[in-house]
């Protein structure tokens, strides 16, 4: 190969490497540079704002971001109390279920407001979490999130929650919902609404942890919404009366 072509190829490889690395650095930098100002949520999930939103760390015990690019673009901000409840819940479930980690999807902008293409996620209290999976051997697996499957949102599961050799682990999903509820309460938060494909709700409630959901099962929406919600669960928190907004 002529020397000039060789040099060009090396520079292109370096540029491609930096391009891939930049979102990882920016996503982490958002967390490093974050302050600890108390968040303030205003309005509703469908029409709201957020003051002092905080970024979710792109990875940590029991969780990983759906996309470093999405995180670097500031699409994983939440109310600080929601962030703290989520991080504790992920760590607790993964400690109890070795090998389990949760893929966190989109949550919201730093200052809330319209969050295309979502219809809610405006006041820092809505989060998307991709469904936990198991492979044919029973090992924990993740929804694969790539640009060509709409960062995971384009993946389809069948009516039983299966896709090839992978199956949704409804028990681990129910464990996470319980843990989120448990970690939210001391923060004067509660889970107000859970959206999952309606055909999955009986499967969720029939799982061992699903049978123990108690009153939390009342927060699960039982009808189809505009998006099928087979690949992710949408969870909406609400601040309890008297809590700091
Ligand atoms: Zn959502």
Q: From ligand 1's centre to the CA of 4, what distance in Å?
A: 50
Q: From ligand 1's centre to the CA of 127, what distance in Å?
A: 6
Residue 184 in this model has a pLDDT that exceeds 80: yes
Residue 11: C-alpha distances to residues 7, 23, 24, 25, 183 (Å)? 6, 19, 20, 20, 48
Residue 209 in this model has a pLDDT that exceeds 90: yes
Q: From ligand 1's centre to the CA of 224, what distance in Å?
A: 14
* pLDDT, tens only, 218-232: 999 887 777 778 899
Q: From ligand 1's centre to the CA of 128, what distance in Å?
A: 5
Percent of the chain with pLDDT over 90: 79
How far is Cα of residue 105 from the mean position of the Cα atoms in its chain? 4
Q: Where are the domains of the chain?
A: 2-239
* Nearest partner of 124 among 184, 77, 87, 181, judged by Cα: 77
Give the sign of the dihedral formed by CA 57, CA 68, CA 91, CA 178.
positive
Q: How far apart are CA 140 and CA 100, in angstroms?
A: 6
Q: From ligand 1's centre to the CA of 99, what distance in Å?
A: 25
pTM: 0.90
Q: From ligand 1's centre to the CA of 1, what distance in Å?
A: 51
Is 142 in contact with 133 (CB distance < 8 Å)? yes
CATH 3.40.630.20 for domain 2-239, yes or no, is no
Q: From ligand 1's centre to the CA of 45, what distance in Å?
A: 10
Q: From ligand 1's centre to the CA of 76, what distance in Å?
A: 12
* pLDDT, tens only, 74-100: 999 999 999 999 999 999 999 999 999
């Amino acid at each position: 190969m002529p020397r000039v072509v060789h040099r060009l190829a090396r520079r292109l490889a370096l540029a491609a490497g930096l391009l891939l690395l930049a979102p990882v650095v920016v996503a982490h930098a958002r967390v490093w540079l974050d302050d600890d100002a108390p968040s303030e949520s205003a309005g509703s999930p469908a029409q709201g704002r957020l003051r002092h939103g905080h970024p979710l760390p792109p990875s940590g015990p029991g969780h990983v971001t759906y996309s470093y690019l999405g995180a670097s673009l500031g699409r994983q901000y939440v109310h600080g109390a929601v962030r703290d409840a989520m991080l504790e819940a992920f760590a607790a479930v993964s400690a109890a279920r070795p090998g389990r980690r949760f893929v966190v999807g989109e949550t919201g902008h730093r200052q809330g407001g319209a969050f295309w293409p979502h219809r809610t996620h405006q006041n820092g209290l809505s989060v998307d979490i991709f469904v936990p999976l198991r492979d044919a051997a029973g090992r924990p697996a993740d929804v694969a999130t790539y640009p060509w499957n709409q960062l995971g949102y384009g993946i389809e599961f069948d009516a039983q929650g299966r896709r090839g050799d992978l199956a949704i682990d409804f028990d681990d999903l129910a464990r996470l919902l319980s843990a989120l509820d448990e970690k939210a309460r001391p923060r004067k938060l509660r889970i107000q609404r859970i959206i999952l494909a309606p055909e999955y709700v009986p499967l969720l409630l029939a799982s061992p942890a699903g049978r123990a959901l108690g009153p939390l099962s009342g927060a699960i929406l039982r009808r189809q919404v505009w998006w099928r919600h087979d690949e992710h669960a949408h969870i909406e928190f609400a601040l309890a009366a008297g809590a700091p907004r």
